Amino acid sequence: MAEIVGIKFRNMGKLYYFDPDGHKFARGEMAIVETTYGLECGEVVVPNREVKDEDIVKPLKKVIRPAQPEDIKRLKENMEKEKRAFDICLEKIAAHKLAMKLVNVEYTFDNSKILFYFTADGRVDFRELVKDLASVFRTRIELRQIGVRDEAKMLGGIGICGLPFCCTRFLNDFEPVSIRMAKEQGLSLNPTKISGSCGRLMCCLKYEQEIYDELLKTTPKVGAIVNTKEGRGVVSEVNLLTGNLKVVLDKAPESPPVSVHVRDVTVIRDSQIKIEEEEAEELLGLEDD
């Protein structure tokens, strides 16, 4: 077992584990730690606790010290500097006529580097922009191209569910989400219904997929040939969560389908869930490359 504290840098940042090195932290306190970017001031979101050795990547870096009032003051000053740097960078981008969208600016805690995050449709030659920015700020400049999902995570917002974005609140990493998931969950393949504000498939499609995968193993799909108490027929509609099916009987193809439960049918030949070519074309671009 090892004692850890979990620290985030910025509200939307990833959670990192550190060795508290004898310090006791409460949730919400700030701590100074060493990262690949140098000294950083982060928020403790997981107070001191014991975790299994296999759940962490060793060796853990140690917390240097709890943040002091002067550290918090510097953090606030950096945030003000970031606003100014954002405006200056926008002017420089326009002056260089670059096809890029500036998303965010971050100063490292010790001001040794400024990171500019941007999105763009393709590769951007920003070498002259970097030189221009370096001449203004007199420090190391890094421009980092990010995806639209990362942009949404940084900027935040409210999803169609009425809650703040999952990526902003608790998702540390983005998991792959596919159109097939939406199809298997019986959702309308309307781009406006299954995509988030970032323009990609909603992350929450991943949450219940494991359950749907299990249900699909025992539930006949639309197009499956089954035997019911009333005779043989073809499944025309499926509700995976309730197990209710609608079956068009072979002996009465023009009549309304009969309603049966999955436990009351025997599958003769199952079908497959397919994404039609027209559907795929309409949803082009919703999946991450």
Residue 13 pLDDT more than 80? no
For range 248-270, the mean pLDDT: 96
> Could you give the C-alpha distances from 155 to 148, 164, 168, 184, 235, in angstroms and in order?
11, 11, 8, 31, 45
Nearest to 205 by CA among 186, 182, 183, 184: 182
**Tens digit of each residue's pLDDT (9 = 90 or more) over 154-165:** 999 999 899 999
**pLDDT at residue 117 in the model:** 96
The C-alpha atoms of residue 147 and residue 151 are separated, in whole angstroms, by 6
Percent of the chain with pLDDT over 70: 99
The residue to which tokens 């097939």 are assigned: 180
Write the DSSP string, 208-238: THHHHHHHHHHSPPTT-EEEETTEEEEEEEE
> In terms of DSSP bridges, do strands 113-119 and 140-145 run parallel, antiparallel, or are they unpaired?
parallel
State the pTM of this model.
0.81
Tens-digit pLDDT profile for residues 25-49: 999 999 999 988 788 999 999 999 9
For the chain, list the domains and their CATH numbers: 2-67 (no CATH), 73-146 (3.30.300), 222-269 (2.30.30)
- pLDDT of 46-90, one tens digit each? 999 999 888 888 889 999 999 999 999 999 999 999 999 999 999
Question: How much is the pLDDT for 271?
Answer: 94
- Which residues, 6 or more positions from 147, have their beta carbon under 8 angstroms from its beta carbon? 119, 288
